[in-house]
Amino acid sequence: MPDEDKTIKQELKELKELIEESTAKKQKKFRLPYKARLNKRKLSEGYATVILINENKQVDFLKEPIIDGTIKINDTYHALKDEAILSYKGKPIIIQAKRRLNPLNPLEGKHETYGQKYVMARMEGDKLVSKKGIGWGISIGAIVIIGIIIYALFTA
């Protein structure tokens, strides 16, 4: 009978909290497709997860062995450097475009600034806006009061 001790306000508050919790969107974590996951045996055999970007911008996940610094994807061979092998949860992963000989390494290359204005605009929009002081209102009011006092002194 402990429910009888609660007031209606308390019960409504609890119900609102439950509704908010249930309607809040939970962001799902990224999970590799099952066919691309590596187990300990495949790791010891020299396999790596390959993210293959096809010509039609379709992405496939594969697991392929690294043999003599190369990987074979279907009918094409691709060369690898150590810098191109990235790590996802402690396991090797390679981002490979189908039509390129070498894999994509996002850490390599020039710094890109072509999207800087969009990034800055987003940062400006996301920053917390502090309350604007009421300085303008007070200063205009003070000027008006001073003007009235000066007018009253000269006309009297």
Q: Is residue 78 part of a domain?
A: yes
Q: For the residues 3-21, what does the mean pLDDT come to?
A: 81
Q: Is residue 14 part of a domain?
A: no
User: Phi/psi class of residue 46: alpha, beta or left (left: φ > 0; alpha: ψ in -120 to 50)?
Assistant: left
User: Which ranges of 36-103 does DSSP label H, i.e. alpha helix?
Assistant: 40-44
Indicate the average pLDDT of the chain.
83
Task: Give the containing element (helix H, strand E) for 13.
Answer: helix 8-23
CB atoms within 10 A of CB 98: 15
Q: Is residue 72 part of a domain?
A: yes
| Per-residue pLDDT at 1 | 46
Token digits for 121? 């605009």
Q: Is residue 19 part of a domain?
A: no
Q: Is residue 154 part of a domain?
A: no
Q: Which amino acid is at 17?
A: E
- State which residues form the domain around 68: 34-97
Q: Is residue 140 part of a domain?
A: no
pLDDT in tens, 59-68: 999 999 998 8
Q: For the residues 67-82, what does the mean pLDDT come to?
A: 88
Taking the model in full, what pTM does it have?
Answer: 0.58
Q: Which amino acid is at 103?
A: P
Q: What percent of the chain has pLDDT over 90?
A: 20
Indicate the number of domains in the chain: 1
Q: Which amino acid is at 7?
A: T
- Residues in CB range of 49: below 8 A, 6 or more apart: 32, 36, 37, 38, 61, 62, 63, 88, 91, 92, 93, 94
pLDDT in tens, 18-28: 888 777 777 78
Residue 96 to residues 62, 75, 92, 108: CA-CA distances in angstroms?
Answer: 11, 14, 13, 14
Q: Is residue 84 part of a domain?
A: yes
Q: Is residue 83 part of a domain?
A: yes
